[in-house]
């Protein structure tokens, strides 16, 4: 325990104190009772008081000087925020999320305040819990064992410092925080009369609020940060405010929270390294063909359609994690669509354009290069949703070039679409569309913030504490570099996606209109491999399971361990996580999971076996371009390098 460690340190450093007579030691600590005294009197031994020394300012002059420097740096941060607003480069709208939060909490408050008895009971419950914490803290200081009302949250990584357990003040704060958070959650779950969507939004916003108000996020209520501030005489806060100013300036007036050391990574240098060539380019994408690694390859080429909300190199982070490299090594001729990072010119590029000038263009390119009229296709996340819609369109038109489809964490039914539904009701979509009118696209930072909010306690506040309170640079992490490499969304594309999928759920209900045709997934009769991940907060496994029933052909549903990224990017060599296989994805999701068979390690080899069963014929390896198309540039190409 930290407090005990501090006491040991004091004894070791103060030899004179250790050699003092017992009478002197007693005089210095008149309020402490020895074990022998306790035995004689029959009274419980009071708990040892924590060491005070780590919390006492050592150099008041240096602390005052650094506090002045901190205020100076904070002023620079404020200036970086104000300047683009003064010049008109950035405007803040009063509508949107802030208004939605107020409206949602108003509906929640209406339920509790409409009945005085109900309101008083809720307040009494909270106050009673605080009293129990206080009395428990007093008994603990007296040496008694007392229950911890926040026992269920002891594994939370924000509260790992020993003082959260040992120090009476911080232990009280921790317990009070969790009791209050649980009470706030209960206000939502116990509020009768709320429609499901309002309840969902209220629960989400309460989670955001409690994450923001955690005592770990403030200097004086976080023992680890407080001790570091004392030890450094506030220099950590000076560095932190300097970083805050830099991050607001980098965000052009908005906070661009750094989650990793950006200087340590560069696309094409230590990310996206699989050898290949850009062999074709349209207005909205580049098509990359990767160099073969085997003498023989599967006859059917493999086309990967990644999401345009993020960049494709999540599947090619580095050679050890790269699904693309692994697929090449298994004998696939791999082609990847690399989407453009759109600007004003792409404002009217909707789903039809992405289907025709993206997927269709890539299929045309593959046929030119290889002569093959059929391919295996993979779609990831929203790239998979686009692929599914395109398959339905192609089926109606008699286009059979895609012979099998694999979906990574892809939703086609959005009834159980998770916390992203909070941002996709009619009011929020209206606000987003209004925001996109100014430039013709949605700024990438908006989507990045939304995704980070889904896991605020892991992706926002730990970095606020580390960067701006501790003044430390975040550690290099390729996945978080990719996560911060934001992309914009064309207005027409994003509006179509939000309205047709999240708001109206048209794709799974055979109501989606694409290129003037009403499409149906029941027309998609090719074999489908549908991968979900158990802890996915973007495309929940239940949602993916339900979507399996929308297709007209045989669907192999597989659930991987972990989440939206780690559950997909899970190389076999790492022997991490697990995956489940079972019967047909019909009936109830929970019943399928209960009967499913668990397999250790990566699902990648299982998928490879599935693909080979579709068509295992092999041909000689194919070089990029195949002698039919000249190389435009080396992989990963220029589209993916554009940063915003």
Distance of alpha carbon 495 from alpha carbon 420, whole angstroms: 15
* CATH 3.40.50.1820, the chain: domain bounds: 276-435+488-572+601-641
∠ CA 547-550-556, nearest 5°, is 70
Distance of alpha carbon 387 from alpha carbon 375, whole angstroms: 13
Interval 15-25 mean pLDDT: 36
Which residue is associated with the tokens 């600590």? 29
Q: Higher model confidence: residue 448 or residue 368?
A: 368
Q: For residues 411 and 536, is the Cβ–Cβ distance under 8 A? A: no
Token code pair at residue 166: 């040992």
What are 562-571's pLDDT values in tens digits?
999 999 999 9
pLDDT of residue 84 exceeding 70, the answer is yes
Token code pair at residue 30: 């008149």
Give the model's pLDDT for residue 39. Answer: 38
Among the listed residues 315, 354, 333, 330, the one whose alpha carbon sits nearest the alpha carbon of residue 277:
333
pLDDT of residue 205 exceeding 60, the answer is yes
Give the model's pLDDT for residue 13. Answer: 37
Task: Give the 3-state secondary structure of residue 280.
Answer: strand
pLDDT of residue 619 exceeding 90, the answer is yes
Backbone dihedral region for residue 289 (phi beyond 0: left; psi -120 to 50: alpha; all else: beta): beta
Q: Which residues pair with 30 in a beta bridge?
A: none
Task: Give the 3-state secondary structure of residue 395.
Answer: helix
Please state the length of the chain.
644
Distance of alpha carbon 344 from alpha carbon 443, whole angstroms: 11
Among the listed residues 323, 298, 327, the one whose alpha carbon sits nearest the alpha carbon of residue 313:
323
- Could you please report the per-residue DSSP string of 127-145? HHHHHHHHHHHHHHHTT--
What are 121-173's pLDDT values in tens digits?
999 999 999 999 999 888 888 878 888 889 889 889 999 999 999 898 999 99
Report residue 584 CA to chain centroid gap: 30
Distance of alpha carbon 629 from alpha carbon 375, whole angstroms: 19
Task: Give the 3-state secondary structure of residue 298.
Answer: strand
Q: 548-558 burial, b if ≥16 CB within 10 A, otherwise e?
A: bbbbeeebbbb
Which of the following CATH numbers is that of domain 276-435+488-572+601-641: 3.40.50.720, 3.30.420.40, 3.40.50.1820, 3.90.1300.10?
3.40.50.1820
Q: State the SS3 of 84-122.
A: HHHCCCCCCCCCCHHHHHHHHHHHHHHHHHCCHHHHHHH
Among the listed residues 239, 292, 249, 388, the one whose alpha carbon sits nearest the alpha carbon of residue 618:
292
Distance of alpha carbon 291 from alpha carbon 611, whole angstroms: 20
Among the listed residues 268, 314, 197, the one whose alpha carbon sits nearest the alpha carbon of residue 568:
314
Spatial strand order in the sheet of 302-305: 597-600, 578-581, 555-560, 528-533, 402-408, 375-380, 302-305, 334-339, 285-290, 276-281, 633-634
Distance of alpha carbon 212 from alpha carbon 177, whole angstroms: 11
Among the listed residues 227, 213, 110, the one whose alpha carbon sits nearest the alpha carbon of residue 164:
227
pLDDT of residue 37 exceeding 80, the answer is no
Q: Which residues pair with 8 in a beta bridge?
A: none
Strands 276-281 and 285-290: antiparallel
Question: Which residues, including other chains, have CB under 8 Å from residue 77's CB and lie 6 or more apart?
Answer: 241, 244, 245, 248
pLDDT of residue 36 exceeding 70, the answer is no
Q: Specify the DSSP element, H or E, that contains 288.
A: strand 285-290
Predicted confidence band of residue 93 (pLDDT cuts 50, 70, 90): low
Distance of alpha carbon 538 from alpha carbon 287, whole angstroms: 27
Among the listed residues 310, 644, 623, the one whose alpha carbon sits nearest the alpha carbon of residue 445:
644
Distance of alpha carbon 375 from alpha carbon 357, whole angstroms: 17
Q: For residues 578 and 604, is the Cβ–Cβ distance under 8 A? A: no
Phi first, then psi: give them for residue 297, nearest 5 degrees: -135, 160
Compute and round to an integer the Cα radius of gyration of the chain. Answer: 29
**C-beta neighbour count of 320 within 10 angstroms:** 10
Predicted confidence band of residue 92 (pLDDT cuts 50, 70, 90): confident
Give the model's pLDDT for residue 139. Answer: 85
pLDDT of residue 25 exceeding 50, the answer is no
Token code pair at residue 13: 């450093």
Distance of alpha carbon 164 from alpha carbon 351, whole angstroms: 51
Predicted confidence band of residue 71 (pLDDT cuts 50, 70, 90): very high
Q: For residues 313 and 272, is the Cβ–Cβ distance under 8 A? A: yes
pLDDT of residue 15 exceeding 60, the answer is no
What are 294-311's pLDDT values in tens digits?
999 999 999 999 999 999
Among the listed residues 583, 401, 417, 590, the one whose alpha carbon sits nearest the alpha carbon of residue 497:
417
Token code pair at residue 279: 């062999």
What are 538-584's pLDDT values in tens digits?
999 999 999 999 999 999 999 999 999 999 999 999 999 999 999 99
Which residue is associated with the tokens 């429609």? 195
Distance of alpha carbon 57 from alpha carbon 635, whole angstroms: 55
Interval 69-83 mean pLDDT: 96
Predicted confidence band of residue 48 (pLDDT cuts 50, 70, 90): low
Indicate the range of 39-53, 211-225, 367-381, 386-400 predicted with least confidence.
39-53
DSSP assigned state of 48: P
**C-beta neighbour count of 255 within 10 angstroms:** 18
Task: Kindly compute the dihedral angle of the four CA atoms of residues 354, 356, 357, 360, in this order, to the nearest 10 degrees.
Answer: 110
Report residue 519 CA to chain centroid gap: 32
User: Which residues are part of the catalytic machinery?
Assistant: 381
Q: What percent of the chain has pLDDT over 70?
A: 92
Phi first, then psi: give them for residue 302, nearest 5 degrees: -115, 120
Give the model's pLDDT for residue 24. Answer: 34
Phi first, then psi: give them for residue 585, nearest 5 degrees: -80, 70
Distance of alpha carbon 43 from alpha carbon 28, whole angstroms: 21
pLDDT of residue 19 exceeding 60, the answer is no
Give the model's pLDDT for residue 247. Answer: 95
Give the model's pLDDT for residue 52. Answer: 80
Q: Which residues pair with 559 in a beta bridge?
A: 532, 580
Alpha-carbon distances, residue 180 vs 104, 328, 341 (angstroms): 19, 52, 43
pLDDT of residue 249 exceeding 50, the answer is yes
Task: Give the 3-state secondary structure of residue 1.
Answer: coil
DSSP assigned state of 474: P
Give the model's pLDDT for residue 18. Answer: 35
Give the model's pLDDT for residue 49. Answer: 61
pLDDT of residue 33 exceeding 90, the answer is no
Q: For residues 6 and 54, is the Cβ–Cβ distance under 8 A? A: yes
Which residue is associated with the tokens 């692994």? 326
What are 455-495's pLDDT values in tens digits?
899 999 999 999 999 999 999 999 999 999 989 999 999 99
């Amino acid at each position: 325990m930290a407090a005990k460690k501090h006491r040991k340190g004091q004894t070791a450093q103060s030899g004179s104190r250790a050699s003092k007579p017992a009478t002197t030691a007693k005089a210095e600590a008149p309020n402490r009772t020895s074990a022998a005294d306790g035995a004689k009197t029959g009274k419980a031994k009071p708990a040892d008081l924590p060491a005070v020394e780590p919390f006492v300012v050592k150099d008041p002059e240096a602390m005052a000087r650094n506090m002045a420097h901190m205020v100076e740096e904070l002023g620079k941060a404020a200036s970086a925020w104000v300047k683009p607003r003064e010049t008109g480069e950035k405007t803040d709208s009063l509508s949107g999320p802030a208004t939605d939060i107020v409206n949602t909490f108003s509906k929640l408050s209406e339920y509790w305040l409409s009945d005085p008895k109900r309101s008083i009971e809720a307040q009494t419950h909270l106050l009673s819990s605080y009293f129990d914490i206080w009395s428990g803290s007093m008994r603990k200081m007296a040496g008694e064992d007392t229950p911890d009302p926040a026992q269920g949250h002891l594994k939370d990584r924000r509260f790992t410092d020993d003082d959260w357990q040992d120090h009476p003040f911080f232990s009280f704060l921790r317990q009070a925080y969790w009791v209050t958070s649980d009470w706030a959650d209960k206000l939502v779950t116990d509020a009768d009369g709320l429609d499901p969507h309002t309840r969902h939004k209220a629960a989400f916003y309460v989670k955001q609020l409690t994450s923001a108000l955690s005592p770990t996020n403030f200097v004086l209520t976080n023992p680890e940060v407080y001790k570091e501030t004392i030890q450094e005489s506030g220099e950590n806060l000076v560095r932190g405010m300097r970083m805050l100013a830099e991050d607001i300036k980098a965000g052009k007036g908005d906070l661009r929270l750094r989650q990793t050391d950006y200087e340590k990574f560069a696309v094409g240098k230590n990310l996206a390294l699989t050898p290949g060539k850009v062999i074709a380019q349209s207005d909205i994408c580049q098509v990359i063909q990767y160099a073969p690694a085997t003498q023989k390859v599967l006859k059917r080429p493999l086309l990967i359609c990644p999401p345009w909300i993020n960049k494709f190199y999540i599947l090619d982070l580095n050679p050890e994690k790269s699904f693309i490299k692994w697929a090449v090594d298994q004998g696939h001729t791999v082609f990847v669509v690399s989407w453009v990072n759109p600007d004003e010119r792409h404002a009217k590029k909707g789903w039809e354009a992405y289907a025709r000038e993206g997927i269709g263009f890539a299929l045309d390119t593959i046929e030119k290069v290889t002569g093959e009229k059929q391919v295996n296709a993979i779609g990831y996340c929203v790239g998979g949703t686009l692929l599914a819609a395109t398959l339905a369109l192609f089926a109606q038109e008699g286009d059979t070039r895609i012979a099998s489809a694999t979906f990574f964490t892809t939703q086609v039914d959005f009834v159980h679409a998770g916390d992203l539904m909070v941002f996709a009701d009619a009011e929020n979509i209206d606000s987003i569309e209004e925001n996109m009118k100014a430039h013709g696209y949605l700024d990438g930072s908006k989507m990045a913030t939304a995704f980070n909010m889904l896991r605020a306690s892991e992706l926002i506040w730990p970095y606020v504490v580390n960067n701006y309170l501790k003044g430390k640079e975040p550690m290099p992490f390729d996945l978080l570099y990719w996560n911060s490499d934001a992309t914009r969304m064309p207005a027409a594309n994003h509006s179509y996606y939000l309205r047709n999928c999240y708001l109206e759920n048209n794709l799974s209900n055979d109501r989606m209109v694409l290129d003037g045709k009403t499409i149906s997934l029941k027309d998609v009769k090719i074999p489908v491999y549908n991968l979900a991940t158990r802890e996915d907060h973007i495309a929940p496994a239940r949602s993916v399971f339900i979507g399996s029933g929308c297709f007209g052909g045989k669907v192999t549903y597989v659930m991987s361990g972990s989440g939206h990224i780690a559950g997909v990017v899970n190389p076999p060599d790492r022997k991490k996580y697990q995956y489940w296989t079972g019967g047909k994805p019909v009936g109830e999701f929970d019943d399928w999971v209960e009967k499913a068979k668990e397999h250790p390690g990566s699902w990648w080899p299982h998928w490879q076996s599935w693909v080979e069963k579709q068509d295992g014929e092999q041909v000689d390896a194919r070089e990029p371009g195949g002698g039919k198309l000249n190389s435009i540039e080396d992989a990963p190409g220029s589209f993916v390098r554009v940063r915003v």
